[in-house]
Structure 1
Amino acid sequence: MSETSPPMPLLDDEALDTLDDFLASDKVDPEALDLIGTHGFLVALAIAPIETPATTWIAELFHGDPQFADAAQREQILGFCETLKQNAIEALEHGHLPELPFDLELGDIAPEETPIGDWCAGFMEGVFLNEVAWFEHDEARVAELLLPFMALSGLFDDEPDMHELIADSTRAEALVKQLPELILDLYLHYRVPEEKPKPTPRKKKPAGRPGGKGRR
């Protein structure tokens, strides 16, 4: 389980390097997510309570249709993305934590200037694809679980509450450390039914005398 097993890598190094090179190339829109943001985006899709059509998330991830060299490259790159997402599902389904592509420390650097912030921003982009579905069940609990991702992403700097969360470096570092467990908590939130309290047994009424009313 997650307490004893090391985090599980979602793609091998060679696949990550190939995906990184493609995302950094001029074949992809400059506004598209980089490798770190893509990792966060696909992990969010693995957690999401509903399946997003591939055509939708591909267009969002790449900000349009990339200029693949040929069908083989298209199959390879999109295959890596799908594999990363499915490996995240597989890990979380078995209670394992996915390996994140960064060290879990900020080092006194603003979150939005680190890979941590980039990853969380990509994760939140994945949430925005189906925001209604994410918050449809127990909105308060989901908001609580997503708070560190939101605060670290740098996407909500204009909100005082978010800024306050990361203004203190100690508190910000604590949020970063929570990320792996929160990923698993979010996945389980949507897939493990809540335990309903057992109904209180009804007390049996004492049997009455034959004929209804008893004698006085």
Structure 2
Amino acid sequence: MSPRDNAPEATPPQPLLDDEQLDRLDDFLDSEQVDDDALDLISAHGFMVALAVAPSELPNAEWLAELFQGEPRYTDDAERNEIIGLLAALRDNAMAVLEQGGLPELPFELTLDGLPAEETPIGDWCAGFMEGVFCDESAWFADDEEAAATLLLPFMLLSSLFDDEPDMAELASDGTRQEAFVVQLPELLLDLYLHYRVPPETPKPKPRKKTPAKGKKC
């Protein structure tokens, strides 16, 4: 038996809401109770995961206004609390999974299947993720702009929001690279979370050498 046979199995990606909760959010976001410019379920999922990764916490009023593009026409306070509670749970569950070093389950198959990203749920999800970044963009790039840009590159590329930029247009033509980014999305989320939430290790101070007292030998 090889050492690999004794190795623990990789933990599968963890769902952030159950199917019933996702269906409830989908029905609400697809209803006439919300503005036509509000995010749909896939985009809202990416948006809330971005808030889970973000280096700073946004007040509810700010992210709700961005997600819904206005106040939804809730039936009553109970529905309002239910919908906001589901969105907050999605964010908080993502934080809990990432905090434990786990990978979040994303609401799509991890393949473009030969299609342009903007024609797939992957593109919609990454666009929603980037909308979450835009909510407090300065915080994402405050400490190490180069590292942040590198970590966010796959999300930016797959979102198709930056196709007008020459460098992005060139990358967008590389289907093999895009497919590789898609497969890595859950791991990339964990990398981002660790980048923002786990402080870099500082070298431990070396112990001072004791100086023998005068007249004594070691």
When normalised by structure 2's length, the TM-score is 0.89
Aligned partner of 1:63 in structure 2 is: 69
* Paired amino acid for 1:61: L
Correspondence 1:158 to 2:164:
yes
- Shift of the 73–196 alpha-carbon distance from structure 1 to 2, 3 Å rule, reads same
Q: Displacement, 1:196? A: 2.6
**2: CA distance between counterparts of 1:184 and 1:56?**
25
**2: CA distance between counterparts of 1:72 and 1:194?**
43
Correspondence 1:148 to 2:154:
yes
Q: Displacement, 1:168? A: 1.7
Aligned partner of 1:107 in structure 2 is: 113
Aligned partner of 1:50 in structure 2 is: 56
Gaps of 5+ in 2: 1-7, 212-218
**1: CA distance between counterparts of 2:93 and 2:207?**
45
| Cα deviation 1:129-152 (Å, max 9, x = unaligned) | 111111111111111000000000
- Is contact 2:126-2:156 (8 Å) kept? yes
Q: Displacement, 1:202? A: 8.4
Q: Displacement, 1:166? A: 2.2
**1: CA distance between counterparts of 2:45 and 2:173?**
26
* Structure 1 outlier segments of 4+, above 6 Å: 200-205
| Cα deviation 1:14-61 (Å, max 9, x = unaligned) | 010010011011111111110000000000000111110000000000
Aligned partner of 1:28 in structure 2 is: 34
- Alignment match of 1:88 (pick from 75, 94, 102): 94
* Equivalent position SS for 2:33: coil
- Alignment match of 2:82 (pick from 58, 76, 87): 76
**1: CA distance between counterparts of 2:52 and 2:134?**
14
**1: CA distance between counterparts of 2:197 and 2:203?**
19
- Give % identity: 65
Q: Displacement, 1:162? A: 1.1
* Equivalent position SS for 1:5: coil
* Equivalent position SS for 1:145: helix
Aligned partner of 1:119 in structure 2 is: 125
* Equivalent position SS for 2:169: helix
* Equivalent position SS for 2:199: coil
* Paired amino acid for 1:173: E
Correspondence 1:18 to 2:20:
no
- Alignment match of 1:170 (pick from 146, 168, 176): 176
Q: Displacement, 1:195? A: 1.8
Q: Displacement, 1:67? A: 0.4
Q: Displacement, 1:201? A: 7.8
Q: Displacement, 1:197? A: 3.8
**2: CA distance between counterparts of 1:203 and 1:15?**
61
User: After alignment, is 166-175 or 146-155 more displaced?
Assistant: 166-175
- Alignment match of 1:184 (pick from 190, 202, 209): 190
* Paired amino acid for 2:73: Q
Q: Displacement, 1:156? A: 0.3
Across the two proteins, how many residue pairs are aligned to each other? 208
- RMSD of the alignment, in Å? 2.1
Aligned partner of 2:3 in structure 1 is: none
Correspondence 1:194 to 2:192:
no
* Paired amino acid for 2:27: D
